[in-house]
A and B are shown apart, each in its own frame.
Chain A
Amino acid sequence: MSGLKIAVCIKPVPSPDQYHRVGIDPRTKTLVREGIPTVINPLDKNALEAALQIREKCGGTVAAISMAPPAAEENLREALAMGADEAYLLSDRAFAGSDTLATSMVLAAAVKKLGPVDLVLTGNESADGGTAQVSAQLGEWLGYPHLMHACGLEVMEDGFIRVDTAREDCRVAYRVKLPAVVSVVRTINKPRFTSLMGVIAAGKKPLSVWTSGDLPVDENFLGLEGSPTKAGDIYQPDLSRRCELLEGSAGEIAGAVLQKLRAAGLQL
């Protein structure tokens, strides 16, 4: 099979290595994430890498799609620099406050508008919200078969792909009929770095912005109003402990540690 049309969903997230800087404003009770740069969700890079590898093997095109505020254009440019052929930013105030069902509805609308797409890839979960719900729900909105936890992906003959999935105690290989939605885990590949050539090329690649009016959205499930779940209070759990120092030589420390273990009820 040749020439797959692949769409990759990309979520811009606050950089995951800086979540210790996330906090809550005690006065306004809102989230504080100032100064934390926005990056492509790490697993979405694995999804993009998987798409690029398929394109290199079988031909076709790779489109990057993101439902996000206008600033996400920068993240989509990075996806183009990595090698995506075209990018679509789904941006509209009407999308604000979307939960996973509403988000996946908009993404599905964009995939439909793209025309006959063979494969939709996403990261298994995002680093910030981490629900791991969007890919399956996207598959349901599209009416495509869908699988999660993909650690291997291979195009088979006659419009099928082989998807290897990682579960707690086993690996399960599936044959899935295209079009399909698959979400990938970290072990599937190592995402490539962007080259300077890639960055230069990205400037010339098409990046379109679609608003709600451009898409076949379901008004009943649009944005905050259309989201079944509503966010309530947020808070920061206090997990601090007494943090007492154990000192001395390695041997003395070991003795002290074992004493604590016995005091905690261990039979040593």
Chain B
Amino acid sequence: MDGKNGLWVIVERSANGFRKVALELLSRGRDLAGRLGEVSGSRPGVWAVVTGPGSAPGTEELYRYGADEVLMVCHPLLEEHRTDLHAAVLADLIRERSPGIVLFGATAWGSEVAPTVAARVKTGLAAHCADLRIDGRGLLVQCVPAFGGKVLGEILCPDRRPQMASVRPGVFQAVPGDAPAGEPLVVRPELDDDDRIKVLEVQRREITGKPLEEAEVVIAGGWGVGSRENWQLLEELAGLLGAAVGCTRPALDEGWTEGEHTMIGTSGKTVRPKVYLGFGISGATHHVVGMKDSGLVISVNTNPNAEIFQFSDFKVVADARAVAEALIAELKAGKTS
């Protein structure tokens, strides 16, 4: 088996394994491959392609979430942040093995590697797909957001191969199956380095609090929160509810929250918590796209005509601070009684 016409998922490694988006794509890839089998009569293999300095442990996870085969691409120069070199080896492998479809997670890493690979192999790439499906001709239909998600458009890559797409974390669900783990295929490509790009230093950032995309409850704050002091109330409320706090761009611009990585929306995170509580959020399309799949949505805004209300199950027309304080008081009273 050489992966020809296969469906590849490019797996980004993380400090303790693989980025979750890769598992999400493998699960979706398994469905797409099944559908391709129905349409064309031959189901392509789903390949997890991992690049890095050495072979990665824990590959059984990749098989469990949808991979039929794992291709481990190892070279000492393939350090995490050398996206240029990862792209170079992936482009070579794609030319050599001719996959039909290649999927990337649209992380910082993936969104740099994917267009580089596409330009090298001279094929199409659809960015940040909100959905992927197979049409009656067996083509990959890539559904991409435009204008901050206000409009969705379908993209096809009818002639060139592979068909390539990137997908943000959280768009698809990682669904474990019971497929047995196999033996990864290890390849060691040739790779040269020069002085064009060199990593000088890496500063890890301590991420405090619960990761947004894993939280059951997300409290999101927008410009209507009004002040840094009020923002602290959201943090306190989040502590009481076991929630993660996310923000919109205006709140980030005001400097009420430190985290670019807590922004929800088109150019940030996609969340689908059990409960989303929005405070002082206007409901700009950019934000709504990142929270629309939440379970229960309750929004608080002083403006009775705020856009966000259209996308909410329940609306509260009131000041964010007053409601946050009342919720904190209720929760504290409940804990002591």
The answer to whether A255 and B311 touch across the interface, beta carbons within 8 angstroms, is no
Nearest CB in chain B: distance from A81 CB, A: 24
The answer to whether B203 and A170 touch across the interface, beta carbons within 8 angstroms, is yes
The answer to whether A239 and B147 touch across the interface, beta carbons within 8 angstroms, is no
Per-position 1/0 for B37-55, Cβ under 8 A of A: 0000000000000000000
Q: Is A197 an interface residue (CB 8 A)?
A: no
Per-position 1/0 for A19-50, Cβ under 8 A of B: 11011100000010000000000000000000
Given A136-B119, A250-B325, CB of A258 within 8 Å of CB of B296: no
Q: Is A204 an interface residue (CB 8 A)?
A: no
Q: What CA separation (Å) do A101 and B331 show in the bound complex?
A: 54
Given A136-B119, A177-B195, A251-B330, CB of A172 within 8 Å of CB of B124: no
Q: What CA separation (Å) do A137 and B272 show in the bound complex?
A: 32
Q: Is B316 an interface residue (CB 8 A)?
A: yes
Task: List B contacts of A146 (CB < 8 A).
Answer: 84, 116
The answer to whether B296 and A260 touch across the interface, beta carbons within 8 angstroms, is yes
The answer to whether B84 and A260 touch across the interface, beta carbons within 8 angstroms, is no
Given A166-B260, A235-B151, CB of A244 within 8 Å of CB of B285: no
The answer to whether A221 and B122 touch across the interface, beta carbons within 8 angstroms, is yes
Nearest CB in chain B: distance from A31 CB, A: 7
Nearest CB in chain A: distance from B117 CB, A: 9
The answer to whether A234 and B154 touch across the interface, beta carbons within 8 angstroms, is yes
Closest residue of chain A to B169 (Cβ to Cβ) is: A168
The answer to whether B112 and A148 touch across the interface, beta carbons within 8 angstroms, is yes
Q: Is A114 an interface residue (CB 8 A)?
A: no
Q: What CA separation (Å) do A136 and B88 show in the bound complex?
A: 13
Q: What CA separation (Å) do A169 and B149 show in the bound complex?
A: 25
The answer to whether B159 and A233 touch across the interface, beta carbons within 8 angstroms, is no
- Of the listed residues A24, A146, A260, the one surrounded by the most CB atoms of chain B closer than 10 A to its CB is A146
Task: Tell me which of A54-62, A84-92, A122-130, A205-213 binds B.
Answer: A122-130
Task: List B contacts of A177 (CB < 8 A).
Answer: 195-197
Task: List A contacts of B298 (CB < 8 A).
Answer: 246, 257, 260
Task: List A contacts of B146 (CB < 8 A).
Answer: 128-130, 234
Nearest CB in chain A: distance from B268 CB, A: 11
Nearest CB in chain A: distance from B92 CB, A: 14
The answer to whether A137 and B274 touch across the interface, beta carbons within 8 angstroms, is no
Nearest CB in chain A: distance from B210 CB, A: 14
Q: How many of A's residues come within 8 Å of B, CB to CB?
A: 80
Q: What CA separation (Å) do A268 and B243 show in the bound complex?
A: 12
Nearest CB in chain A: distance from B233 CB, A: 13
The answer to whether A231 and B154 touch across the interface, beta carbons within 8 angstroms, is yes
Task: List A contacts of B156 (CB < 8 A).
Answer: 229-230, 232
Interface residues of A in 224-260 (CB under 8 A from B): 227-237, 239-246, 250-251, 253-255, 257-258, 260
Interface residues of B in 120-176 (CB under 8 A from A): 120, 122-128, 141, 144-160
Task: List B contacts of A233 (CB < 8 A).
Answer: 153-154
- Of the listed residues A131, A169, A231, the one surrounded by the most CB atoms of chain B closer than 10 A to its CB is A131
The answer to whether B152 and A236 touch across the interface, beta carbons within 8 angstroms, is yes
Measured as residues with beta carbon below 8 angstroms from the partner, the interface class of chain B is 35 or more
- Of the listed residues A14, A240, A264, the one surrounded by the most CB atoms of chain B closer than 10 A to its CB is A264
Q: Is A149 an interface residue (CB 8 A)?
A: yes
The answer to whether B152 and A250 touch across the interface, beta carbons within 8 angstroms, is no
The answer to whether A128 and B311 touch across the interface, beta carbons within 8 angstroms, is no
Q: Is B109 an interface residue (CB 8 A)?
A: yes
The answer to whether A172 and B118 touch across the interface, beta carbons within 8 angstroms, is no
Task: List B contacts of A169 (CB < 8 A).
Answer: 204-205, 207, 261
Q: Is B334 an interface residue (CB 8 A)?
A: yes
Nearest CB in chain B: distance from A254 CB, A: 4
Task: List A contacts of B318 (CB < 8 A).
Answer: 250, 253
Task: List B contacts of A231 (CB < 8 A).
Answer: 153-155
Closest residue of chain A to B108 (Cβ to Cβ) is: A167
The answer to whether A145 and B197 touch across the interface, beta carbons within 8 angstroms, is yes
Nearest CB in chain A: distance from B242 CB, A: 8
Closest residue of chain B to A227 (Cβ to Cβ) is: B124
Closest residue of chain A to B14 (Cβ to Cβ) is: A169
The answer to whether A229 and B124 touch across the interface, beta carbons within 8 angstroms, is yes
Nearest CB in chain A: distance from B33 CB, A: 22
Partner of A244, one of B147, B198, B314: B314
The answer to whether A254 and B330 touch across the interface, beta carbons within 8 angstroms, is yes
The answer to whether A230 and B313 touch across the interface, beta carbons within 8 angstroms, is no
Q: What CA separation (Å) do A136 and B127 show in the bound complex?
A: 13
Q: What CA separation (Å) do A32 and B157 show in the bound complex?
A: 25
The answer to whether B154 and A243 touch across the interface, beta carbons within 8 angstroms, is no
Per-position 1/0 for A129-146, Cβ under 8 A of B: 111111011011100011
The answer to whether A130 and B145 touch across the interface, beta carbons within 8 angstroms, is yes
Nearest CB in chain A: distance from B122 CB, A: 7
The answer to whether B327 and A257 touch across the interface, beta carbons within 8 angstroms, is yes
10 more CB-based (< 8 A) A-B contacts, given A237-B292, A246-B316: A23-B150, A101-B125, A137-B119, A167-B81, A169-B204, A171-B203, A176-B198, A234-B152, A243-B313, A245-B316
Q: List 7 A-B contacts (CB under 8 A).
A: A132-B111, A167-B81, A173-B201, A175-B197, A228-B160, A235-B152, A254-B326
Chain A interface (Cβ < 8 Å from any Cβ of B): 14, 16, 19-20, 22-24, 31, 99-101, 104, 125, 127-134, 136-137, 139-141, 145-149, 162, 165-177, 180, 187, 221, 227-237, 239-246, 250-251, 253-255, 257-258, 260-261, 264-266, 268
Chain B interface (Cβ < 8 Å from any Cβ of A): 81, 83-84, 107-109, 111-112, 114-116, 118-120, 122-128, 141, 144-160, 195-205, 207, 216-217, 241, 260-261, 266-267, 274-275, 277, 284-286, 288, 292, 295-298, 307, 309-318, 322-323, 325-327, 329-331, 334
